[in-house]
Structure 1
């Protein structure tokens, strides 16, 4: 099961009218590609737009009456694939920034959830409540920093946050690990490392963490520019 990040309108996402980077690459090569993902809404386009609008209004009211975003189903979208290794590495970077005393040589991005530092942060995620709190959707309520649990339009309960919250966490983490914009741009181009490419386990998980940070930062910037949600898809 792969992990993708989608940036775009909820109505487009829930209708399934988008393609992962793997699907786009396969299509460009003329290769048949089948995406296995969550069930999509069976409503027609107009009904789906209405459902999303009603849901947006409810969330906006719960956050203090903020203005909902324009969820146009024809709005452009962006997507990329940090892989689970990038996500796990990013989670470890955040956990280590809060609990450097719990870094273990046994930690791996593949099994980030059992790392002592990550486990310790489940009770108090510190400066990273969405990255370490399991958020899967980040919503563009301008100027609002919040994390919360809500029922999504398709009926699933999930942890969510705002884009402003994600931006704040990514900026803090970038500064904490000393990653420059050049470092992030280089990571985007090179991708995550193969285990054989690096000498130590620490370097392996760090480089995957920087790659995950780079992908999240890039798509967060795109989501902010488009004023549309950023979602995890797996």
Structure 2
């Protein structure tokens, strides 16, 4: 049973007021994160079957469980409560899909700004003392940020406490998904990356879209403020 399951729409909408804040008691805008699930949102208890055609939910599967490419996604649902908070350590699959597929802001769910010659803004964990060539291809499940959210939302993330890099990116191609990979001969493997063009794509229950950032330009590299630091898990 999974009440109020979140469908995976063909065209994901911009964040609604309910998605941007908690039910009944609004979250302060600076302390909210669109892609993080609320406390009442959770994965549905569905059995996964592995057939010669790939993974399926069997008779429980609906058309909204697969994206336009036919990839099966982890279904989430839950019963809204009067008050709830964000679970900062996680990404909600539907909202992460929306943000990555349409390049919406991870913080507020609205469109990100694309500046000519610079591209969009990504903020990722980084060691300021490490020597990294950020122009090399980099895979991430973290969506971009709009200019307003870039000033406040990254500091909600615990992994940015030790350092961050702000990148301007002109090219960020969708390259695959991350999720639970099923095998007929081995236990399921979680957090596996599978490219779209790999045969294993039929055997994965996806949780996150993955983009490959290329030719990025570093805008800032350093340690963020520590106030309002909570826990989240970009990658």
- TM-score, structure 1 as length reference: 0.24
- TM-score, structure 2 as length reference: 0.24
Structure with the larger strand share: 2
Q: Which has the higher contact order (CA 8 A, sep 6+)?
A: 1
Structure with the larger helix share: 1
